[in-house]
Amino acid sequence: MNLAELTAHEASELLARREISALELTNAVLDQIDRRESTIRAYITVLPEQAREQAREIDRRRAAGESLHPLAGIPTALKDNLSTQGICTTCASRMLENYIPQYNATVVERLRAAGTVILGKTNLDEFAMGSSTEFSAFYPTANPWDPSLVPGGSSGGSAAAVAAGEAIVALGSDTGGSIRLPASFCGLVGLKPTYGRVSRYGLVAFGSSLDQIGPLTRDVTDAALVLSAIAGHDLNDSTSLAWPVPDYRRALIPDVKGLRIGVPQEYFVEGMDPDVARAIRQGVDQLAALGAAVEETSLPNTKYALAAYYIVAPAEASANLARYDGVKYGLRVDGHDVMDMMDKTREAGFGPEVKRRIMIGTYTLSAGYYDAYYLRAQKVRTLIKQDFDQAFKNFDVLAVPTAPTVAFPLGSRIEDPVAMYLTDVCTVTVNAAGLPGLVVPCALIRGLPVGLQLLGAPGSEEILLRTGFAFEQSQDWRTRRFGE
């Protein structure tokens, strides 16, 4: 048995029975990092000695008879845009290459309170702006299924770490699909919670009205475990929802009888790989065979979502990244006056994709263009939300593709921003409307994974997890992992 290939709940059971120790589990994952990281490059920072000490502490507490959280002792990776006290938080940018926060993000505090073992910080597209994890200032991350391919982005490092056995679970962030897309490309479960369900305090902001933190895991049970640990109201985040946090594992019943599932046709976009479309429809057919009532439906404003997203998100990024001026923290490149210093700092500190989005955002917010672009995009966003509100009067869940293709070759789209942005065409609507979205593996196409995306109304994570769990239990996916 390779301990690094266990799910969190499998490992938790072994730990509780003392058949393995947290230190043994952590060492197994660190060994996997040593073996595969030179190829995968999932991490920016690895913390082996800190991880081992945290594991030893969990073993001491368990030996003393303490009642521990199910995630206690589980080796966990954190996307490197989550603030970690005393540990570099780079956002994969030269701008923050040496930035060490003085505080932990709320989700980090909650994972530490649960007793997880923090392995390190994972690679991402710079400031989470990308769909392939090629826009890191340091190096691209490879897909463990085929290292010549991208892992998806922007949480590609977190996804690759879990898929390669270099972490048992990981956290990512999702602004327009950045958890769900890597989950699909890497054969994982990825959950983007309802906006406000998980505190954003300590998440380095990209698009403040769109960002949300969530788990990348090997199965739905692990996603439920992690969400239960990190969800909940936080006074440090004014957008955090004061909703009670259920034990999401109680929702995991392999039964979808009576659930109404809609299939919006607008998500089967022009240019979609026919094999991907076929795999998604077969996944929907499987849900119908399990007893769900499946019906086609329409979300007519979906066709405007990508254009609206790529106005709203860069506009918010432009405002959020204005703080990186060489004065307060991060990189500073001296100049002959303050303005020259700011210009030189931003020129050296930001990569090409971040600069592109800042320029788009600044343009759309400028005088004379605000009404024509930004305000109109926000109105489209309202129409998209109204489409979903109407759909959820008739359906419990919507089932759609996650991406138009399987993972694509490294370098194939990096010089073509439009082709790269089209990767997000099936995911951005969820962020625009603040909805939860769950991706579960549903097929292999040419040896590469495809994820079925399940969407729900705000606060419907339990229904999504139930649906995903029932679908997962009807598959043999766990036997098709960790191929090398």
Over residues 110-158, the pLDDT tens digits come to: 999 999 999 999 999 999 999 999 999 999 999 999 999 999 999 999 9
| Mean predicted confidence (pLDDT) in 161-189 | 98
Q: How many other CB atoms are there within 10 angstroms of residue 213's CB atom?
A: 29
In this structure, are strands 212-217 and 117-122 parallel, antiparallel, or unpaired? unpaired
Number of domains in the chain: 1
Residue 199 has phi, psi (to 5 degrees) of -60, 140
**pTM assigned to the model:** 0.97
**Residue 482 pLDDT exceeds 60:** no
Residue 129 placed within a domain: yes
Encode pLDDT of 342-400 as tens digits.
999 999 999 999 999 999 999 999 988 999 999 999 999 999 999 999 999 999 999 99
> What was the pLDDT predicted at 479?
59
Which residue, 179, 224, 184, is CA-closest to 8? 224
3-state secondary structure of 76: strand
Q: Which amino acid is at 477?
A: W
- For 89, 252, 295, 314, 323, the CA distances from 349, given in Å and listed in that order, are 15, 45, 50, 18, 12
- For 25, 413, 427, the CA distances from 184, given in Å and listed in that order, are 26, 18, 11
> What was the pLDDT predicted at 79?
99
CATH number of the domain to which 171 belongs: 3.90.1300.10
Which residue, 461, 481, 474, 476, is CA-closest to 215? 461
> What was the pLDDT predicted at 339?
95
Residue 402 placed within a domain: yes
Residue 277 placed within a domain: no
Tell me 372's DSSP state. I
Residue 170: which domain range?
A: 3-262+393-480
> What was the pLDDT predicted at 147?
98
| Mean predicted confidence (pLDDT) in 454-461 | 98
Encode pLDDT of 285-312 as tens digits.
999 999 999 999 999 999 999 999 999 9
Output the average pLDDT for the chain: 97
> What was the pLDDT predicted at 484?
47
Catalytic residues: 79, 154, 178
Residue 331 placed within a domain: no
Residue 287 placed within a domain: no
End-to-end alpha-carbon separation of the chain, Å? 16
| Mean predicted confidence (pLDDT) in 242-269 | 97
| 58, two tokens | 């969990």
pLDDT band at 1 (very low <50, low <70, confident <90, very high): confident
C-alpha span between 143 and 308 (Å, rounded)? 30
DSSP letters along 102-142, please?
Answer: SS--HHHHHHHHHT-EEEEEE--SGGG--SSS---SS-PPP
Residue 130 placed within a domain: yes
| Mean predicted confidence (pLDDT) in 161-183 | 98
Which residue, 73, 57, 66, is CA-closest to 19? 73
Residue 255 placed within a domain: yes
Encode pLDDT of 462-471 as tens digits.
999 999 999 9
C-alpha span between 452 and 290 (Å, rounded)? 16
C-alpha span between 450 and 447 (Å, rounded)? 10
pLDDT band at 480 (very low <50, low <70, confident <90, very high): low
The residue with tokens 């979903």 is 388
C-alpha span between 142 and 298 (Å, rounded)? 36
> What was the pLDDT predicted at 483?
47
Contacts of 169 (CB under 8 A, 6+ apart): 8, 71, 74, 76, 77, 116, 162, 215, 216, 217, 218, 222, 225, 226
Cα atoms in the 13 Å half-sphere on the side-chain side of 164: 31
pLDDT band at 476 (very low <50, low <70, confident <90, very high): confident
Residue 304 placed within a domain: no
Share of the chain above pLDDT 70, in %: 99
